[in-house]
Amino acid sequence: MLFNSLHFLIFFPVVVLAYVLVPAKCRYLWLLAASYYFYMSWNPRYAILIGISTATTYGCALILERIPRERTGGRRWWMFLSFLINIGILFFFKYFDFALENVNRILGALHMTVLEKPFDVLLPVGISFYTFQALGYTMDVYRGEIPAEKNLLRYALFVSFFPQLVAGPIERSGNLLRQVQQVDRWQLWEPGRIRDGLLLMLWGFFQKLMIADRAAIAVNAVYSQYQVFGGGEILLATLLFAFQIYCDFDAYSNIARGAAEVCGFRLMVNFRQPYFSRSIGEFWRRWHISLSSWFRDYLYIPLGGSRVSPVRHWMNLMLVFLVSGIWHGANWHFILWGGLHGAYQVLGKWKDGCCAWLGQRLGRDKPVRLPGALRVLVTFVLTDLAWMVFRANSLGDVQGLLKAMVSFPGFRDPAGMEMVPVEWTLLGISLLVLLAVDLFHARGISLRKKLLSLATPVRVFLYAAGIGVILVFGVYGAAYDTSQFFYFQF
């Protein structure tokens, strides 16, 4: 079920109305049923997978809590079992075909008989997100940071909570699970909270329908047949993809946070104006925060983080970003994308050391750095270059795109980008709105408070105008690829 579908626009009000009316002790049961219905609307059979992940991490966490902490061997075994089952399911559905393809390439190079593909595997939507969320819970119990949840159904709601189930944010048990445990004690009718949640959802729909889906028209046209375009169109499409993926993913996160807020839940912020970052390291503290913090806490720090030798530190960074690359997709170009960001991080650490050394040599208290605006520009260019690798369909397409840019650096067929002037105008205006909103937020200015300070008739007019603009000028129809949010495939 898509957030930008008629199905969801019917489903969500019904869920909220029933949620308010059912007895307090049944609220979490109703949300659990609604969450499983939401997930099963894609493929009912795959509810079995989320059920297995839930049961496995729930059972392992209960056992971990009962084993004394001094018995590290036994506790690690159950932790390993939880990871083995969940990562095994994730590998089978997401990486089996990729692994078989590469094994067959090796066998073919050795002139050996290749392996037949025994079956077709359909990637379950959101499997990477809820698997990581469940494994994070097991790790938290293993570390003693939270007690194991005794109520299986409450824990099942934590894993399957429908607003953030299929594309995040990847919530922590210390936040979402504790809210699930308290849901029967909440005062649900809070007009201010409901209004704020709906406003956040409205902003998410603006990002999705006015920017992401409109930019996707040109991006898909160029990347699907880059051979007929010049470097100008490829560069423009790559620039647009940076905003497409940002607005698409941030839109989902905002709609998810808004829907959760209407129900009384507070989900973590997943993006903080990432394209204003002054370094790649800062970019990853602002982009997909729930995933980057997951890798930091459950992979990077256990590997030693920065508390090791410089070479080992660089290896840790590279490993984390290579894993991040393969998490995003079973293809070598995703691994290359992760490797690029790992290399950016390593070079950034080396650069910081050089800047600090140069500052000391010049007798300054602070490292020598480029002006802030220039650092933002350099960071964006490096990020956008990596987005080209990310958006390409294969490593071969990455090579083809770079070759096309070099062989014909100008514009060859702008009309082939399938955008008429009015579409470009709407996209340009929408991007200016996005830039203005991000600038306000980056400077700590709350547009929500500004909006609430206006007179009620003015606010009502602005709400209605925002809805009207999205309904009239948003991207809809079979001609456009609105079948899913971009990150559903991960």
Residues designated catalytic: 328
Q: Are 245 and 271 in contact (CB under 8 A)?
A: no
Structure tokens at 137: 């819970």
Spatial CB neighbours of 8, under 8 Å, sequence gap ≥ 6: 1, 2
Among the listed residues 322, 294, 296, 335, the one whose alpha carbon sits nearest the alpha carbon of residue 132: 294
Spatial CB neighbours of 150, under 8 Å, sequence gap ≥ 6: 62
Q: What distance in Å separates the CA atoms of residue 41 and residue 6, rounded to the nearest whole number?
A: 13
User: What count of other Cβ atoms lies within 10 Å of the Cβ of residue 187?
Assistant: 7
Structure tokens at 242: 């940076």
DSSP letters, 252-277, are HHHHHHHHHHHTT--PPP--S-GGG-
DSSP letters, 67-134, are S-TT-HHHHHHHHHHHHHHHHHHHIIIIIHHHHHHHHHHHHHHTT-PPPP-----PPPTTHHHHHHHH
Among the listed residues 94, 88, 11, the one whose alpha carbon sits nearest the alpha carbon of residue 52: 88
- In a 10 Å sphere around its CB, with 0-12 CB exposed, 13-18 middle and 19+ buried, how is residue 2 labelled? middle
Instruction: Using the CB atoms, write b or e for 44-53: b if 16+ within 10 Å.
Output: eebbebbeeb
- The CA-based dihedral angle spanning residues 412, 413, 417, 418, taken in that order and rounded to the nearest 10 degrees: 170
Residue with tokens 């201010």: 192
* φ and ψ at residue 50, rounded to 5 degrees: -70, -30
Among the listed residues 193, 190, 164, the one whose alpha carbon sits nearest the alpha carbon of residue 177: 164
What 8-state DSSP symbol labels residue 301?
A: T
Structure tokens at 457: 């008739």
Task: Please provide the distance, in angstroms rounded to a whole number, between the alpha carbons at the two ends of the chain.
Answer: 16
Structure tokens at 483: 């079948």
- The CA-based dihedral angle spanning residues 471, 477, 479, 481, taken in that order and rounded to the nearest 10 degrees: 80
